[in-house]
Structure 1
Amino acid sequence: MSKFAKGIVVGVVGTVAAVAGALLSFQKTVVEPIEVQEQKFDDNRKKAMRKSRSAHHG
């Protein structure tokens, strides 16, 4: 393999690694907090429904 071909391979591998790292970072900082917040909203909605039903049947 020539130096040029090795350089291309190393460059491609480095670029793929950088893109993968950026995607994982985006998921950890943006996507997961949104999912956690949605889960909290769902839990609160369920609690409110239970509380409402028990208040009307108590």
Structure 2
Amino acid sequence: MKKFVSGFVTGTTITVATLAGLMYGVKKTVIEPMEEKENMVNDNRRKAMRKSRAR
């Protein structure tokens, strides 16, 4: 029984660590670049609005 419990705990820990690493990787490769692009587009939009009002 002791071997089962230790194996179960080890397996659960490894699974949770793997899922956390996967989520971190997806965040770095997919989500953050999209947010950076959105911020860049918004900055360009603000600059264009300022230029159009200055004329």
TM above 0.5, one fold? yes
Q: Tell me the TM-score normalised to structure 1 length.
A: 0.91
Q: How does 1:7-46 map to 2 (within 5 A)?
A: 7-46=7-46
Following TM superposition, the consecutive aligned residue runs of length 4 or more in structure 1 with deviations greater than 4 angstroms are none
Quick one: distance in 2 between partners of 1:47 and 1:2? 65
**Structure 2 residue ranges without an equivalent (≥5):** none
Q: What is the number of equivalent residue pairs in this alignment?
A: 55
AA matched with 1:35 = E
Q: Which structure's CA Rg is the greater one?
A: 1
Q: Tell me the TM-score normalised to structure 2 length.
A: 0.95
Q: How far does the alpha carbon of each residue in 1:1-58 deviate from its partner, in whole angstroms, 9 at most, with x for none? A: 6111100100000000000000010000000000000000000000000000001xxx
Quick one: distance in 2 between partners of 1:54 and 1:4? 73
Quick one: distance in 1 between partners of 2:50 and 2:43? 11
Q: CA RMSD in A?
A: 0.9
